[in-house]
Amino acid sequence: MNMKSSKDVTIIFVNPVPRISAQGRHKQVFTMIGKTGELVPTTGMQKNKEFGVPSEYSFPYNPTTNRLHTGLDKMIINPFKGLDPSYIVEEYGLSQEWLSKLETIVKQDNIKLQTKYEIYDNVPYNHYTNEIAGGSTIFNTTNIKTANIAPPNFLQTFKILLYDKPNRFTDETPRGRLAIALIKIHPKIANSKNEANASVHEWYISEENEAQAEKLKKQDFIDDVKYAWVELKRNGSPFILYKFGSLLTTHDNRPIIKGTVNNDTVKNFISDYLNDTTSHQIDNLSKFIDLYTLYQEDTDRFNIRYLIQQAINTNVMKISDGYYVWHSKSGTPNMYKHTDYNKLVSLLQQEFKNYNPDDRTITNWYRDLFEEVQSKGAWLEQ
């Protein structure tokens, strides 16, 4: 019962917040003072920590309540409700002193998170108290020199060390659970990268190692695209590959293939496009996978987009001031200029569905465009 499955384990990383600010805010130091324990800016330059030297953090002290701020006093759903106290004692190896406490605990709907952790960790009841021992404000004193000052409670001496790198914590151990509780409550540690403010926070929490996760996600995406490219080369005809090359565009919106080229050249151009290692790599890969998905899910629309691109390449159409202009339709207002590319594609796709090559008595805009582009020598197949 006290064993956590791998899917239930919480793993967080605490990452350093970049301290550089063009406005100089990274030089402003904040300290927790006052009766409310608020963060107040103080003057002075922030000293950079030497490489390899960790930062040490304890549970924050609230001078108003004269208690530690731990977050362990929050109420949670009672996981022990209805259980036999003797069973809990045996399962978690608790001392017999817990029995009288458990007789009450098993009847409650909610208990403190502190109590849950004390049972999980097999420590005495109230071991994780947020009270200051003896009422002393020297709450983190570890070297007691006078008999008038009570020894500090456990959480008064509890500390974590954070190094200038992603710091990994897991709730699989007693210390790990308390460390995560401290991390989530400390004012110098932001709850996420988006919430991190370099003038207030020194660290931020991520549920995963974000840099590694992003790297893996990017690599997975690259692998997916390259797999799709292998499948396309294996199963696609030279004409299909040519269509892809004609529809893939560079960062400045130029098709990577134009005019007459052989199949090997088409493959080389597309491979170079996908293996681009510049800042345009992800954009290139995204364009390819979007086009590949369209080809698989809506081949007609894919083909209409290719026809329009060939119309532009052969100057049957041009893009001017945001309009797609069909030169030969200057006398037909509703076909001469188009402001919305997707609507133009949809219109021609609908015309294609209505297209009957044996019936020339009815005007069909798809047929008109196809025949005009074909007359310019573009590679088209019915």
End-to-end CA gap in the chain? 68
**pLDDT-derived band at 219, boundaries 50, 70, 90:** confident
Q: What is the pLDDT of residues 252-262, one digit of tens each?
A: 889 999 999 99
**pLDDT at 25 (0 to 100):** 43
**pLDDT at 213 (0 to 100):** 66
Q: Model pTM?
A: 0.50
**pLDDT at 40 (0 to 100):** 44
Select, from the ranges 135-144, 217-226, 364-373, the one with the highest average predicted confidence (pLDDT). Answer: 364-373
Q: What is the pLDDT of residues 344-372, one digit of tens each?
A: 999 999 999 999 988 888 999 999 999 99
Can you say whether the dihedral through the CA atoms of 139, 140, 142, 146 is positive or negative? Answer: negative
Q: Does residue 169 contact residue 12 with C-beta atoms inside 8 Å?
A: yes
b/e per residue, 110-124, with b = 16+ CB within 10 A? ebbbbbbbbbbbeee
**pLDDT-derived band at 5, boundaries 50, 70, 90:** very low
Question: Which class for 203: exposed (0-12), middle (13-18), buried (19 or more C-beta within 10 A)?
Answer: buried
Closest CA to 245 of 227, 258, 226: 258
Q: What is the pLDDT of residues 31-73, one digit of tens each?
A: 444 444 444 444 433 444 555 689 999 999 999 989 999 999 9
For 214-225, the DSSP string reads: HHHHHHHHHHHH
Q: What is the pLDDT of residues 288-315, one digit of tens each?
A: 999 999 999 999 999 999 999 999 999 9
Closest CA to 61 of 139, 175, 161, 154: 139
Tokens representing 65?
A: 């309540």
Q: Does residue 164 contact residue 150 with C-beta atoms inside 8 Å?
A: no
DSSP 8-state class, residue 70: -
- Report the alpha-carbon distance of residue 222 to residue 276 in Å, rounded: 11
DSSP 8-state class, residue 249: B
Q: What is the pLDDT of residues 233-281, one digit of tens each?
A: 999 999 999 999 999 999 888 999 999 999 999 999 999 999 988 888 8
